[in-house]
Chain A
Amino acid sequence: MSGPLTDLDRPNSYIGRAVPRADAARLLEGRGRFVDDLQLPRMLHAAFLRSPYAHARVNGFDLEAARAVPGVHTILTGKDLEGVVEPYVGVLSHLAGLQSAPQMPMAVDVARWQGEPLVMVIAESRAIAEDALGLIEADLDPLDPVTDPEAALEPGAALIHDSLGSNLAWERTVDVGDVDAAFAADGVTTVERSFTFGRHTGVTLETRAAVAAFDPSTDQLTFWYSGQAPHMMQFIFAKHLGLMEEDVRVIAHDVGGSFGIKIHTYGDEVATAAAAKLLGRPIKFVADRLESFQTDIHARDHIVKGRMGLTADGKIAALEFDDITGIGPFSMYPRTSAIEANQVLNLTGAPYEIENYRARSRVVFQNKNLMCQYRAVGHPIAMAICDCLLEDAAREIGMDVAEVRRRNLMADDSYPRQSASGMKLADLSHQQSLEKLLEIMDYNGLRADQAQARKSGVYRGIGLVSMVEVTNPSPAFYGIGGAPIASQDGATVRLDAGGGLRISSSVTEQGQGTNGILAQIAADRFGIPIDRVRVTTGDTDTVPYGGGTWASRGAGIGGEAMLQAAVALRDQVLDVAAVMLQTEPSKLDIRDGAVTDLDGSERMTLSDLARTVYYRGNELPSDMKPELVATRHYRVTDFPFVFTNGAMAAQVEVDVETGMVKVLGFWAVEDCGRVINPMLVDEQVRGGVVQGIGGALYEECLYDEEGQLLNASMADYEVPMAAEMPDIVVAHVETPTRTSELGAKGAGEAGTGGAPAALMNAVNDALSPLGGRIHQMPMTPERILKALGTV
């Protein structure tokens, strides 16, 4: 790499360095500011009665005994919020044909999933509110639940919303080239597989939480929440509670994990805000773990039939699949539950040269919790469909799985170009990433180890994935469809009198290190020690307007805005300094918090400059209008998304007696463009891989046919634990994006998007000598033994 951004020898050079995060100090001392830590005067606490049935008519409630509990303040039902909350509908105009029904924070006439809020008890403590919940008599008539997405589309299936006339929410097809002719061509070997991707969820260690406070004297709502997109929530509360947007302040301080779970509109949180408005008192709601499992959005839930044709020399002749995905009873507001399916259609096969591509996805209502965007939206499905078919097909024709990729990956010098599905691609490095992966994992050595192990009856497998990740989205993701979601973000940099920088940004922090990299960029570009930079994010009253952190956009979009703001302020400060020092701005620099000559000799400290401007303006020429604050905004133009790419590999050992899978090793090569902080990026990749391992091996929200969630506790829903996880080797190829000066793409979702396919390939590689194969996630011991035919 070359160029000024990676000149690590400059003073205040922070971009590209593993700078520890300043936020760590607070969190390590127990001085975080999570929502449940907040105590306000006269604050009340909310708890919710939730539907025990997946589908039921709501006739009414006997609330008398609950109301009589000492300490109970108010009880509200779904009907009580009619006229208080404007119903919301999760559709977007660019997803043509997507339909959903109006949704209220609590069910009014019909409850449509187990866990849907029915009644809100507001009391002096959460414990008292829960005491009262136990005394409510609910008059509910169970209705036939529709849980299986394929059955939901059968003629005569019960309708979840009569008004929609169908349980089909959305359908999209893609048809490129001549798929039928390609499959029928001589010498094409076709593999066909049925995939099942189970539901799982984010399991943020801090559950969803909110404190709402309303001041009737000014009509102002303040909403502290554990979330990712404050400005989006500002719009939502204003619109649906009948407030002016400028009267809604949304604050997200520390967020205890999010992963996309905390970016949606949840009925219990809207009801909390509505109740605060009705009562004029602060109300706190903190989901317990059962509520989290039942109502935090679930992810995936796909049934896919796919096939791939491979020519004798290993070229992909055609790829085709049919996807059906169950999204629960509503499309989630406002991002919709169709984006995941849309991503699957857009991304499948995107790393490869594919001329013939046909795909269909159907998005289906069902009586389960809502499904929506979680880390790596659609990616694990898309990557698994293509790369698992590719490795299975390669095995069929006797070709090595690395070699088959070499023959199909898009060439690193072939960009910009399009994927088969029409995605604009640029600045990718699949070939280089694959070769680097093979090198760091010692691919040939692992193959030799595998062969040796098999001789002694030990079944090890190696699986790869070549992947893309959607990052830095433009308005094409949500804004064009009418969603109140900003695609641009802003940054403000202010030089204070003491010579330090106060920076703020509309992207948000949930542990990724957003605040840290913003400080790195500002300090680097402005020319100040990083310990003189203070960061504010997550407060609609004080930060520029923007979208927040999601879709791996914080560093790429928020970071570029910060870079531009820091450069602008630097120029403004040098203009002032040049006048004060009677020289030209071009002959000055800012280094280590001082204005210097170009040779680095100090002319004046930034504090001296700022104090002169702020306190003794009389010393400046009267026509001079110094500005020691700069704000810049940035959005991606010309590309709908800035794609990244990666190559990953898993090595597993399958115990064929028990069906247990042990992950022996995992390697990831990631090209996220300019790496701002290699330590933070590596940790994002590792954490992402481990969530991907969770989805591939352990995590599943299990429902019975009645729509009852069977494993809604931490004891029953398995997440990766320290003992089960391997050390993960991470390496980088850096191809900066042409869309920004910073050159950074996103990195936070790559591991979660790619790891499941690599693991499925590794398990199937291990099982192949025994004739077993598995295409269902999670790959539990029972399912592996079934694949082997031993149970």
Chain B
Amino acid sequence: MSQTQDITVTINGETIHATVPVRQNLADFLRNGQGLTGTHVGCEHGVCGACTLLMDDQTVRSCLTLAVQADGASITTIEGLGARPDTKALKAAFTNRNALQCGYCTPGMLASALEYIESGAPADRTAIREHLSGNYCRCTGYQSIVDAVCETIEGRQS
């Protein structure tokens, strides 16, 4: 239970050397080990999507990823999303459309939404709803989130 391993991981552009329990998941490592509490844990079994972040530019569930699996990888958490080109517009759209209420799903939702937007996919409501179906939101009913993603894509194209 106490076995540990040394890892080197780039988190939001900063290189971190750490010794982690091999059983510790990435979410707990980021939250408890690095103080990056913006990554939220909702179900700890990979369904709700709250803990979604970017690992080497791909979305992953940080509750289903062990910290040791991130060795050598580049992690972008909500705290580091601002460095990506579409984030500012997406956050503005979320704010202006109230696409978040309690904010607990928001970090994971932004990561998934950015993945969709950065792929160059169109502002197709059905496709966006499909893409975001791995991220649960219990507050909004999703419509304003879809609106915000569409607005960001349309702004990107104009």
A residues apposed to B, CB below 8 Å: 20-21, 23-32, 34, 36-37, 39, 127, 131, 202-207, 254-259, 288-289, 510-513, 679-680, 683, 686-691, 713-715, 719-725, 727-728
Chain B interface, DSSP helix/strand/loop, else mixed: loop
B147 to chain A, nearest CB (A): 9
Within 8 Å by CB of A24, from B44, B47, B100, B107, lies B100
A689/B23 in contact, CB under 8 A: no
A29/B78 in contact, CB under 8 A: yes
Given A30-B77, A683-B98, 8 other A-B residues pairs in contact with their CB atoms under 8 A = A24-B100, A25-B95, A32-B37, A204-B104, A207-B42, A256-B104, A722-B137, A723-B132
- How long is the Cα–Cα vector from A679 to B141 in the complex, in angstroms? 14
Within 8 Å by CB of B38, from A30, A512, A690, A721, lies A30
- Check if B74 is an interface residue, CB within 8 A of chain A: no
Closest 5 CB pairs of A and B: A30-B38, A27-B103, A256-B104, A511-B102, A511-B101
- How long is the Cα–Cα vector from A131 to B82 in the complex, in angstroms? 38
B19 to chain A, nearest CB (A): 15
**Chain B residues with CB under 8 A of A259:** 138
A679/B102 in contact, CB under 8 A: no
Contact A205-B102, Cβ < 8 Å, known A20-B95, A714-B45, A721-B133: yes
- How long is the Cα–Cα vector from A713 to B106 in the complex, in angstroms? 21
B139/A511 in contact, CB under 8 A: yes
Within 8 A of A (CB), among B97-113: 97-98, 100-107, 110
Residue of B nearest to A204 (CB): B138
Residue of A nearest to B128 (CB): A722
- Check if B145 is an interface residue, CB within 8 A of chain A: yes
How many residues on chain B are close to A (CB under 8 Å)? 58
**Chain A residues with CB under 8 A of B44:** 288-289
**Chain A residues with CB under 8 A of B40:** 34, 205-206, 256
B144/A683 in contact, CB under 8 A: yes
A683 to chain B, nearest CB (A): 5
**Chain A residues with CB under 8 A of B37:** 30, 32, 34, 36-37
- Check if B79 is an interface residue, CB within 8 A of chain A: yes
B60 to chain A, nearest CB (A): 17
**Chain B residues with CB under 8 A of A31:** 38
- How long is the Cα–Cα vector from A399 to B1 in the complex, in angstroms? 69
Contact A257-B96, Cβ < 8 Å, known A30-B78, A687-B140: no
- How long is the Cα–Cα vector from A39 to B35 in the complex, in angstroms? 9
**Chain B residues with CB under 8 A of A728:** 141, 143
**Chain B residues with CB under 8 A of A510:** 101-102
A256/B95 in contact, CB under 8 A: no
Query: Of B21, B139, B146, which is in contact with the most chain A CB atoms at under 10 Å from its CB?
Result: B139
Query: Of A37, A205, A259, A688, which is in contact with the most chain B CB atoms at under 10 Å from its CB?
Result: A205
A205/B129 in contact, CB under 8 A: no
Contact A257-B133, Cβ < 8 Å, known A205-B42, A288-B44: no
Residue of A nearest to B91 (CB): A28
- How long is the Cα–Cα vector from A127 to B24 in the complex, in angstroms? 9
- How long is the Cα–Cα vector from A204 to B105 in the complex, in angstroms? 10
